[in-house]
């Protein structure tokens, strides 16, 4: 080794020592907190990546996008504009490199949400559901998915950023698609990210990415992306599992801000439940569903996160006095507006969806034909039938009501000891109570809401008999609706609905054990319902039947009935095959 080479090597060694010393010196050392934060980010991404889904059209045409698994048996959340481009059958890849078949379940065209089900496993990895209302501007979030459909190895792309804003409202902009109460983030969301998850810093699912600002920007993200809040989606999840095309809600009233900053009713439909509960023009809206309303934007945001038909609390002020009432929400659209093919399919502003044209529908694979059924008003009626069978199977454990389709006699006393007696047959319903007798014929006669202030108790009891003896067979329409909070309070319940002529009923069951909790019957549209609630299941001979009933209508004080005797006579054997729906 010559002296020049020796000097160069020694200088190199000194440089390495000095350079290393800079980072061992406290002034230049990497902050352990920074290393820890990086390691935590990597750990979170590794934890949640198995739940992220890359969605592709099964036909090889059309588009695709992203999704996220929320149940071990394969339910996946995505955007409606993704699945409408990918078709009713899709191919879904996970970061383990495996490709799975998937089928559409339910869609929400207004909220831009779709539910599909991946097939082939019952142990899929699932995302942990977070609370999107707990987000604040400045919180760190991860956007994951399949941008530009580049994830051909099914490994999701990850972008990291902050929450730029919460409770954002975006107008429909010429379509029925409406983003309400959504999350704004600067995490890069590009075409193909649509439908993918937005995770908070703890790895909890807080939103579904849907929109980005791309117009006139070469379809490159400009730092303003939007995600549908997971809290809104969870309100709709039961409805999506019904296989239906679901709709959002309206109160039936428009509002405006006034000079003192309050939000007042500008106009109101007289047919609405809010009007029947006393809301009038000029009343101040104080809160809805427990959330304060201080602007028109907040009013639209809050209404937008609930499904059609939910009953929720409304607080309003008139002459400095507050009133709280329960109101059932109306549908935002006519059915024809939300059925694909009836109207032009909505595209999010900016055309950020990965698809460019509707795909050619592939032939349904023979092994999957049984899990897909077309029916008007449904994305996939098969899943509705499954939910019906799940609930009615538990009801069958009450005994053989199908053979008790003759005369029904029910008697007992109210909470004050006053006796009552009910007789029900195919032709007539009779109630003897409080020294009076009411009768309702079902021979084509006009249906009434007798007795007064009950919303049509006689008609309701007639429909209860039809429901218990024939389930859905005798109704013109019968389906699983989804879930909702019973009477606007507490835990959510499963809801079946039936329709016969103008009469509609909602049948409520516990979503945990399918206990029959009661029902509402509306004799005519836009009228108060007869509301019956059950408790204390009791054995009456070979049958089980609730012994305590609460009967009310329109928010009035309820009457408590205690059933002491039931006599359900056999009737003629049903002709044809009995089914649970039609």
Catalytic residues: 81, 112, 194
Question: DSSP characters for 64-78?
Answer: EEEEEE-STT-EEEE
3-state secondary structure at position 421: strand
Alpha-carbon gap, residue 20 to 441, rounded angstroms:
95
Token pair of 578, please? 């009995």
- Beta strand 253-257 with 284-288: parallel, antiparallel or unpaired? unpaired
Token pair of 283, please? 């009343």
Alpha-carbon gap, residue 157 to 442, rounded angstroms:
63
Dihedral angle, C-alpha 210, 159, 231, 356, nearest 10 °: 10
3-state secondary structure at position 387: helix
Owner of token pair 């909602």: 506
3-state secondary structure at position 140: strand
CA dihedral (334, 338, 339, 340) positive or negative:
positive
Question: DSSP characters for 238-268?
Answer: HHHHTTBB--BEE-SEEEEE-TTS-EEEEEE
Token pair of 416, please? 């004050």
Residue 99: other Cβ atoms inside 10 A: 13
Token pair of 531, please? 């509301």
Alpha-carbon gap, residue 327 to 147, rounded angstroms:
42
Alpha-carbon gap, residue 555 to 324, rounded angstroms:
11
* Contact (Cβ atoms closer than 8 angstroms) between residue 563 and residue 545: yes
* Contact (Cβ atoms closer than 8 angstroms) between residue 158 and residue 144: yes
DSSP code at position 211: E
3-state secondary structure at position 213: coil
Alpha-carbon gap, residue 348 to 157, rounded angstroms:
22
262-274 burial, b if ≥16 CB within 10 A, otherwise e?
A: bbbbeebeeebbb
Q: Count each helix (H run) and each strand (E run) in the chain, helices first.
A: 9, 32
């Amino acid at each position: 080794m010559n002296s020049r080479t020796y000097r160069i090597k020694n200088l190199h060694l000194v440089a390495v020592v000095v350079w290393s010393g800079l980072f061992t010196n406290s002034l230049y050392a990497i902050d352990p907190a920074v290393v820890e934060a990086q390691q935590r980010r990597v750990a979170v991404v590794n934890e949640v990546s198995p739940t992220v889904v890359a969605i592709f059209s099964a036909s090889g045409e059309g588009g695709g996008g992203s999704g996220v698994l929320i149940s071990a048996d394969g339910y996946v959340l995505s955007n409606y504009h993704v699945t409408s481009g990918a078709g009713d059958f899709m191919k879904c890849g996970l970061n383990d490199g495996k490709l799975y078949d998937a089928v559409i379940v339910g869609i929400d065209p207004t909220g831009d949400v779709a539910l599909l089900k991946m097939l082939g496993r019952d142990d899929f990895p699932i995302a942990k559901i977070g609370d999107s209302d707990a987000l604040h501007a400045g919180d760190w979030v991860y956007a994951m998915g399949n941008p530009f459909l580049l994830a051909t190895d099914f490994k999701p792309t990850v972008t990291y950023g902050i929450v730029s804003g919460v409770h954002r409202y975006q107008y429909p902009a010429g379509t029925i698609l409406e983003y309400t109460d959504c999350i704004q983030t600067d995490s890069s969301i590009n075409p193909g990210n649509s439908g993918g998850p937005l995770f908070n810093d703890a790895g909890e699912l807080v939103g579904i990415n849907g929109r980005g600002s791309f117009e006139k920007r070469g379809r490159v993200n400009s730092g303003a992306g939007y995600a549908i809040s997971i809290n809104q989606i969870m309100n709709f999840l039961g409805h999506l599992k019904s296989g239906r095309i679901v709709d959002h809600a309206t109160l039936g009233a428009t509002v405006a801000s006034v000079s003192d900053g309050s939000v007042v009713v500008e106009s109101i439909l007289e047919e609405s439940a809010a009007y029947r509960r006393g809301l009038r023009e000029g009343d101040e809206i104080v809160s809805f569903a427990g959330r304060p309303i201080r602007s028109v934007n907040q009013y639209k945001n809050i209404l937008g996160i609930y499904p059609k038909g939910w009953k929720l609390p409304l607080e309003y002020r008139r002459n400095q006095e507050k009133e709280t009432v329960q109101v059932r929400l109306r549908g935002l659209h006519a059915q024809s507006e939300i059925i694909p093919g009836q109207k032009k399919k909505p595209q999010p502003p900016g055309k950020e969806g990965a698809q460019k044209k509707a795909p050619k529908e592939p032939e349904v694979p023979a092994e999957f034909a049984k899990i897909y059924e077309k029916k008007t008003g449904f994305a996939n009626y098969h899943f509705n039938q499954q939910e019906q069978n799940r609930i009615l199977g538990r009801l069958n454990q009450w005994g053989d009501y199908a053979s008790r389709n003759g005369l029904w006699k029910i008697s007992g006393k109210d909470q004050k000891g006053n006796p009552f007696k009910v007789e029900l047959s195919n032709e007539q319903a009779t109630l003897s109570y409080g020294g009076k007798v009411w009768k309702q014929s079902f021979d084509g006669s006009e249906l009434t809401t007798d007795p007064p202030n009950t919303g049509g108790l006689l008609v309701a009891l007639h429909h209860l008999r039809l429901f218990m003896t024939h389930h859905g067979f005798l109704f013109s329409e019968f389906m699983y609706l989804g879930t909702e909070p019973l009477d606007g309070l507490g835990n959510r319940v499963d809801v079946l609905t039936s329709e016969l002529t103008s009469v509609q009923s909602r049948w409520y069951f516990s979503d945990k054990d399918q206990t029959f909790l009661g029902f509402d019957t509306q004799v005519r549209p836009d009228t108060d319902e007869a509301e019956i609630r059950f408790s204390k299941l009791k054995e009456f001979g070979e049958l089980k039947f609730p012994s305590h009933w609460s009967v009310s209508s329109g928010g009035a004080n309820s009457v408590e009935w205690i059933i002491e005797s039931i006599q359900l006579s056999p009737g003629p054997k049903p002709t044809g095959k009995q089914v649970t729906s039609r």
